[in-house]
Amino acid sequence: MKTIKWLITPILLSIVLVFASATTDGSRETEKIHSAVNVLKDFTEMKESIPHDLISEYKGIVIIPNLINAGFVAGGKRGRGIALVKLDDGTWSDPVFITLTGGSFGLQIGVQSVDLVLVFRHKGVLTKVKNGDFTIGGDVSAAAGPVGRSSSANTDYKLEAEVYSYSRSRGLFAGISINGSNLGIDKKANADYYGSDISSSDIFSMGKSNADAVKELKETLKAMQ
Domain range summary for the chain, segments of one domain joined by +: 26-224
- Read off φ and ψ for residue 90, nearest 5 degrees: 90, -10
What confidence score (pLDDT) does residue 11 get? Answer: 43
**Distance of alpha carbon 16 from alpha carbon 113, whole angstroms:** 32
Inter-residue contact 20 to 111 (CB < 8 Å):
no
What confidence score (pLDDT) does residue 9 get? Answer: 43
What confidence score (pLDDT) does residue 212 get? Answer: 97
Burial category of 30 from C-beta neighbours within 10 Å (exposed 0-12, middle 13-18, buried 19 and up): middle
What confidence score (pLDDT) does residue 141 get? Answer: 77
Instruction: List the alpha helices (DSSP H) in the chain.
Output: 2-24, 27-45, 52-57, 124-127, 187-194, 200-204, 212-224
- Residue 155: strand, helix, or coil: coil
Residue 98 is given by DSSP the state E
pLDDT block averages, 10 residues each, the chain of length 225: 43 39 70 97 84 93 87 68 97 96 59 85 88 73 76 57 83 59 92 91 94 97 95
Inter-residue contact 171 to 115 (CB < 8 Å):
no
Nearest 5°: CA angle at 130, between 69 and 160?
Answer: 65
**pTM, 2 dp:** 0.81
Burial category of 85 from C-beta neighbours within 10 Å (exposed 0-12, middle 13-18, buried 19 and up): buried
- Residue 185: strand, helix, or coil: strand
